[in-house]
Amino acid sequence: MIKLEYPFTFLNEWIKIERGNRYAAAKIKKDTTYAISLMLNGQPKIPTPCGLIFIWTIPNKRRDLDNISFATKFVLDGMVKAGVIENDNLKHITSLHHEFKIGDTVGVEIEVID
């Protein structure tokens, strides 16, 4: 299991930023992808093809589930950048499942399923 504690930008915030300045939104994507890749540095490579379960931890029930799971894009791109997965296309990642829980920290745990 991979555990990432990170204050992700979720979809509603992303849309607001992107509408105001597309370069600012691109910077958030670049910075988040880089931060995730640094957190994953040294993690063993995940054999593919595989499925992934994302277990998102959030502080309360105020966000929509699709708003939270939008950050999947940043996580997968960070995994590719770190070399944890070769690619995030259908040849390598065959399914994505999402679960959500309330907790004190904000982040995501990723489980690999065959």
Question: What are the pLDDT digits (tens) for 7-19?
Answer: 998 899 999 999 9
Mean pLDDT of 78-92: 96
Give residue 20's pLDDT. 93
Ordered by start, the domain boundaries in the chain are 2-113
What's the CA gap between 65 and 83, in Å, rounded? 28
- pLDDT tens profile 98-109: 999 999 889 999
Show the tokens assigned to 17. Answer: 């930023």
Give the Cα-Cα-Cα angle 28, 112, 71 (nearest 5 degrees). Answer: 20
Which runs of consecutive H residues, i.e. helices, occur in 40-71? 65-69
CA distance 9 to 72: 11
pTM higher than 0.95 for the full model?
no
2-113: which CATH number, 1.10.3470, 3.30.1330, 3.30.310, 3.90.120? Answer: 3.30.1330
Contact 106, 62 (CB under 8 A): no
| Number of helices followed by number of strands (H, E) in the chain | 4, 4
Kindly give the pairing relationship between strand 50-58 and strand 2-5. unpaired
Q: Over the stretch 58-72, which tens digit does the pLDDT of each residue have?
A: 988 888 899 999 999
**What is the structure's pLDDT at 22?**
83
